[in-house]
């Protein structure tokens, strides 16, 4: 049951080159017109931009891990090697990660495989849909556990790090090898409304990580694990990374590469990093770097803006971003990997969830709270799913928008009002569309831009092969 990571197809490689083109063109302009600066710092700047985009996901992962640490398990937060379990849906105050959903409750753990493998135990969910995605530290998913892949019975899985060599113990149903020391176990379990939350929480509290040395013996995790002093567990990770100086960013990145090695396909990038003085596991002090390289790296931090623009320029259909085939398994498509880490770290493989996202209406105009919109699904166009689906609204940073009725998503389990022909109208606007349509109202902010994400859990084949696409968002009549 060891998982493998698929390589890029030629089409994916071609799309990747097109996405890098604006960065390379900008660099060429600077080299041609920049004179002495271009000769001394142009190439280091370009390599710095590429290094920033390459390292961005792992740095965000590390900041997210820090924000998730707590002395005892709580809502999402927990010590290393223990689960934090949600007891209720997140609301507009939730800032741990952007772009969360409201169809499932989350249970997450950060697993450290440095000393030995861990055994992940899951309970019998009685047929309830759940998924546990295993992320290695470069933000790729290397395994998926749950109803779609392993069923809903009680099972035990061994998670081993890259250097482990040993025999698989008895009583284990599968083995998954992580390419990196740190693994993010990101779990979701379907909860169709608040009345189901207690039952779901009780099931997810049965998730357990046991050190291999304690397997098949009574084991109780540490009761209190001190959080390292000085960690910022309050500021959202993406906000933290925006405030970083180049020395802090690239210094952390170099340290993280020690225990979280690059893939063989990353060798060309490793050479570029070495030219900047950034080498896996070695301390990087920007104050000791060549002054030209140091200045270039400081300028390269502006690449964050490139990520913002790049995400919004991904291929769209009727205003919806088309989720790439390599989602959650990015290979050498570093730009897409970094862009997804910025707007929605934790997105899992397409066979488990598909996330069409719209910043634009069907006419490619930005969604704006000053207008009223309609999302109309014909009966045949409703999201094809083997689990559930929803539509959620977010602010530009990917967080829920506070509103008077505390509604942040419309889900299939809700008492939606369907038309007589089986079609469905969803109203996206600031003010109520009227009492008779309020069940289908997803409140927009009072002003400014917003965006939408449709979630289709365990999508049917027509979603994965592109036969089904969501309808465009239109201006309400």
Instruction: Name which of 13-22, 105-114, 143-152, 383-392 the model is least confident about.
Output: 13-22
| Residue 362 vs residues 200, 316, 375, 383, 429: alpha-carbon distances, Å | 37, 10, 10, 18, 16
Burial of 212 (0-12, 13-18, 19+ CB in 10 A): buried
The two beta strands, 451-457 and 357-358, are antiparallel
Give per-residue pLDDT as tens, 137-183. Answer: 999 999 999 999 999 999 999 999 998 999 999 999 999 999 999 99
Domain ranges of the chain: 10-65+235-309, 69-214, 356-475
CATH of domain 356-475: 2.60.120.600
Give every CB contact of residue 297 below 8 A, 6+ residues apart in sequence.
Answer: 44, 48, 51, 246, 247, 250, 276, 286, 289
* Structural tokens at position 114: 């440095």
When comparing pLDDT for 7 and 465, which is higher?
A: 465
Helical (H) or strand (E) element with 341 = helix 334-344
CATH 2.60.40.1610 assigned to 69-214: yes
Describe the strand order of the beta sheet including 130-136 as a list of residue ranges.
Answer: 83-85, 104-112, 182-190, 130-136, 141-146
The rounded Cα 289 to chain-centroid distance in angstroms is 33
Average pLDDT, the chain: 90
pTM: 0.89
Specify the CATH architecture of the domain 10-65+235-309. Answer: Orthogonal Bundle (1.10)
**Separation CA 405–CA 385 (nearest Å):** 28
Q: What is the rounded average pLDDT of the residues 314-337?
A: 88
Helical (H) or strand (E) element with 349 = none
């Amino acid at each position: 049951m060891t998982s493998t990571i698929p390589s890029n197809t030629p089409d994916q490689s071609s799309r990747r080159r097109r996405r890098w083109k604006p960065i390379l063109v900008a660099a060429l302009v600077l080299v041609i017109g920049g004179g002495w600066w271009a000769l001394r710092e142009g190439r280091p700047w370009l390599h710095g931009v590429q290094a920033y985009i390459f390292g961005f996901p792992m740095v965000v992962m590390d900041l997210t891990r820090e924000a998730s640490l707590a002395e005892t398990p709580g809502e999402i937060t927990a010590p290393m090697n223990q689960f934090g379990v949600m007891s209720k849906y997140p609301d507009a105050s939730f800032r741990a990660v952007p772009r969360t959903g409201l169809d499932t409750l989350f249970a997450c753990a950060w697993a450290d495989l440095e000393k030995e493998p861990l055994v992940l135990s899951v309970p019998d969910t009685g047929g309830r849909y759940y998924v546990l995605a295993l992320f290695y530290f470069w933000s790729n998913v290397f395994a998926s556990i749950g109803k779609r892949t392993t069923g809903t019975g009680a099972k035990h899985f061994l998670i081993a790090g890259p250097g482990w060599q040993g025999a698989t113990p008895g009583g284990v149903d599968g083995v998954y090898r992580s390419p990196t020391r740190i693994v993010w176990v990101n779990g979701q379990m379907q909860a169709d409304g608040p009345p189901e939350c207690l039952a779901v929480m009780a099931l997810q509290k049965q998730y357990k990580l046991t050190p291999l040395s304690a397997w098949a013996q009574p084991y109780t995790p540490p009761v209190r694990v001190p959080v390292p002093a000085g960690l910022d567990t309050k500021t959202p990770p993406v906000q933290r990374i925006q405030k970083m100086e180049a020395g802090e960013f690239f210094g952390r990145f170099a340290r993280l590469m020690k225990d979280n090695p690059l893939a063989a396909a990353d060798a060309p990038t490793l050479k570029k990093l070495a030219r900047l003085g950034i080498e896996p596991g070695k301390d990087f002090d920007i104050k000791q770097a060549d002054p030209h390289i140091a200045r270039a790296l400081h300028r390269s931090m502006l690449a964050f803006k490139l990520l913002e623009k790049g995400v919004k320029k991904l291929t769209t259909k009727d205003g919806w971003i088309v989720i790439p085939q390599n989602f959650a398994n990015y290979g050498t498509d570093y730009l897409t990997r970094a862009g997804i880490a910025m707007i929605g770290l934790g997105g899992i493989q397409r066979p488990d969830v598909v996330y069409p996202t719209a910043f634009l209406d069907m006419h490619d105009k930005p969604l704006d709270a000053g207008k009223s919109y309609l999302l109309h699904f014909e009966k045949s166009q409703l999201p094809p799913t083997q689990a559930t689906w929803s539509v959620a609204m977010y602010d530009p940073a990917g967080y829920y928008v506070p509103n008077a009725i505390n509604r942040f998503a419309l889900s299939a389990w809700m008492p939606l009002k369907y038309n007589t022909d089986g079609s469905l109208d969803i109203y996206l606007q600031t003010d109520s569309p009227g009492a008779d349509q309020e069940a289908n109202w997803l409140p927009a902010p009072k002003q400014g831009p917003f965006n939408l994400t449709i979630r289709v859990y365990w999508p049917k084949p027509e979603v994965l092969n592109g036969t089904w696409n969501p309808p465009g968002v239109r201006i309400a009549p």
